[in-house]
Amino acid sequence: MWRNTLHGWGIASIVMHWLSALIVVGLFALGWWMTGLGYYDYWYQLAPWWHKSFGMLLLGLTLLRVAWRLSQSTPLAQGARWERRAAHAGHVLLYVLLLTVMVSGYLISTAEGQGISVFGVFEVPALIVGLPHQATLAGDVHWYAAWALIVLAVGHTLAALKHHLLDRRDTLRRMWWPSVSRRQ
Amino acid sequence: MFPKTLSKTVTGVTLGAAMLLPMTQANAAEYQIDSQGQHAFIQFKISHLGYSYVLGTFDDFTGTFSYDPEAPEEASANVKVDVTSLDTAHAERDKHILSDDFLNASEYPTATFESTGFESTGEGEGILKGNLTLHGQTQPITIDVEHIGGGDDPWGGYRQGFEGETTLTLSNYGIDTSKLGPTASTVDMYLVVEGLRQ
């Protein structure tokens, strides 16, 4: 139930997947909106605070998710050989982009030694500070990697829908119902 | 007793001045701003909401000046500032100030000051005139300058130090500060430069 099998995803992977999806889309929209805010806007200080808090939460979740994913079996990929390879490369790239976006975001805010408050509960300390033009360069990486992540996530979604609806596979069912993993 | 001491003192001062005179004439010289030892500071102060100030520095800059205590009106100075070295002790704010919302440092990474003249206004003080290029635009400015001190340093060199103050109107350089509120249209600059005689 909790763990993955060769037939489907366990609860842990399913929950982490959809939670990530929700937070990624939310953070992208929030980030887009907040960078356009004026100095005298009410949300000018608060929106980045939420953005950074959820970003750090997602970073923790993603590290946990990668560790969970690597520690056990994964459901067998479906489709032709080239499709399975492309899907695997796409999934690896999604993880890489996720980590790139979050690490670069972290490097912006901590560039001069300030930590990042996570919902006001605790603070993630600054570890790498004072690289040349750190905040500006990390900001550029954050922007382009976030775009790449969203574009790839849309492609990921379309591919899943195609396999489910056109190829009539159980792609979406096994990413939603943990019971699929118990099937023999 | 008392007059004697006084006359001694006067003699001493006269002697000292006489000894100083030929030395000061030899001091008409080129000085390199001590950037390496960072005995030079460019600080700025700008209003925050009209309630307080944001203070910051430009850490990296180089420059030279020439100075002759006997002929201060011939003083000149040239300074080149690395705009990206701006530091207000808050990474997100620095990133924002350096972005194209304000200084656009990727497009205009350096600011320069080239003096055009010096007007003495009294003992050890004057007005340094020159052209400041910031955000790709050049404007004439004046800097109120005061001589702090000078002489041999403990390490075999010879130094002169000055402080200067000026106020810049940012819109003159095409920098739009209207979003920061009406009190943030100008920025006060405070400069301390220590030159090492070449």
pLDDT at B175 over 60: yes
Query: Scanning every residue of chain B, which has its alpha carbon at the shortest distance from the alpha carbon of A129?
Result: B91
Q: Are B105 and B126 in contact (CB under 8 A)?
A: no
Tell me the residues of chain A between 90 and 149 that have a Cβ less than 8 Å away from chain B.
Answer: 108-112, 114, 133-136, 139
Please state, rounded to an integer, the average pLDDT across all residues of chain B.
Answer: 88
Q: Which helix H or strand E contains B20, and what residues bound it?
A: helix B2-25
Distance CA A48, CA B38 (A): 35
**Residues on chain B touching A139 (C-beta within 8 angstroms):** 95
Distance from CA of B144 to the nearest CA of A (A): 32
Kindly write down the DSSP assignment for every residue of A42-54, as one continuous string: THHHHHHHHHHHH
Distance CA B92, CA A108 (A): 7
3 state DSSP class of A171 = helix
**Planar angle of CA B123, B126, B132, nearest 5 degrees:** 160
Q: Within 13 A of A129's CA, how many CA atoms are on the CB side?
A: 14
pLDDT at B20 over 60: no
Residue of B60, B95, B178 to mutate, testing the A interface (most A Cβ within 10 Å of its Cβ): B95
**Residues on chain B touching A135 (C-beta within 8 angstroms):** 91-92, 94-95
**Residues on chain A touching B94 (C-beta within 8 angstroms):** 111-112, 135
pLDDT-derived band of residue B2, with 50, 70 and 90 as boundaries?
very low
The pLDDT tens digits of the residues spanning A36-45 come to 999 999 999 9
Nearest CB partner across the interface for A108, out of B89, B91, B180:
B91
* Residue scoring higher pLDDT (B18 or A31): A31
Query: Beta strands of chain A (E only): which ranges?
Result: 116-118, 122-124
pLDDT value for B21: 45
Distance from CA of B29 to the nearest CA of A (A): 35
Q: Does B144 touch chain A (CB under 8 A)?
A: no
Report domain extents, chain A. 11-182
pLDDT value for B17: 45
pLDDT-derived band of residue B7, with 50, 70 and 90 as boundaries?
very low
Nearest CB partner across the interface for B95, out of A38, A40, A139:
A139
| Closest alpha carbon to B145 in B171, B117, B172, B173 | B117
pTM above 0.90, yes or no: no
| Closest alpha carbon to B103 in B59, B143, B133, B80 | B133
Nearest CB partner across the interface for B95, out of A39, A108, A114:
A108
Residues of chain A with pLDDT under 50: none
Q: Does B87 touch chain A (CB under 8 A)?
A: yes
pLDDT value for A184: 57
Non-local CB neighbours of A51 within 8 Å, separated by 6+ positions: A27, A30, A31, A34
Nearest CB partner across the interface for A135, out of B91, B106, B180:
B91
Task: Tell me the CA distances in angstroms from B167 to A99, B10, B16, B160, B197, one per residue in order.
Answer: 45, 42, 39, 24, 29
pLDDT at B30 over 90: yes
Q: Does B94 sit within 8 Å of A108, measured CB to CB?
A: no
Q: Does B99 sit within 8 Å of A136, measured CB to CB?
A: yes
Report domain extents, chain B. 28-197
Distance CA B60, CA B42 (A): 9
The answer to whether ipTM exceeds 0.95 is no
Q: Which two tokens stand for residue B62?
A: 């180089």
Q: Does A39 touch chain B (CB under 8 A)?
A: yes
Fold of the domain built from segment(s) B28-197? Lipocalin (2.40.128)
**Residues on chain A touching B83 (C-beta within 8 angstroms):** none
Task: Tell me the CA distances in angstroms from A138 to A98, A123, A130, A135, A143, one per residue in order.
Answer: 14, 20, 12, 5, 9
Domain boundaries A11-182, corresponding CATH code: 1.20.950
